[in-house]
Amino acid sequence: MAISFDEVEVGTELPAQSFPVSRAALVRYAGASGDFNPIHWNEEFAVSVGLPDVIAHGMFTMAEAIRVVTDWVGDPGAVVDYGVRFTRPVVVPNDDAGAVIEVSGKVAKLLDGRRVQVDLLVTSGGQKVLGQSRAVVQLG
């Protein structure tokens, strides 16, 4: 199951995934993470601070995006470095559909010690929501 360094090259694509995000998911994430900022569950408050609607926690989106890496590599502890820039909010309407976070990734660099840099492309509604989203992964 583990991915070997010898199997990958620059440009190797990781299986892409789509992650739905509903209002209920944001409430659940607020409880699990301890981030109760009302912009993530209270539409009236979100609008009052200039947002179009309730937005997902940036950290929720960051948690979803790395799953493309951890599902690929199997062992989540193989992620040794992970960073993102929050460039655009994921707006989550109060309906059955919610929003969808689309994540794809590819190997961007081969590093020393059988490690690779994976660059992630993270979009919602066709727009990039995370920038400079990359992880360093220890392969076997």
Residues of this chain that bind another protein (CB under 8 A) = 19, 25, 28-29, 31-35, 58-60, 62-64, 66-67, 70-71, 74-77, 79-86, 132
- For 54, counting Cβ atoms within 10 Å of its Cβ (0-12 exposed, 13-18 middle, 19+ buried), the class is buried
User: Which residue's CB is nearer to another protein, number 9 or number 78?
Assistant: 78
User: Which residue's CB is nearer to another protein, number 9 or number 97?
Assistant: 97
- The residue with tokens 């309906």 is 95
In the complex, least distance from residue 123 CB atom to another protein, rounded to whole angstroms = 18
Contacts with 96 (C-beta within 8 Å, 6 or more apart), sequence order: 22
User: Which residue's CB is nearer to another protein, number 9 or number 34?
Assistant: 34
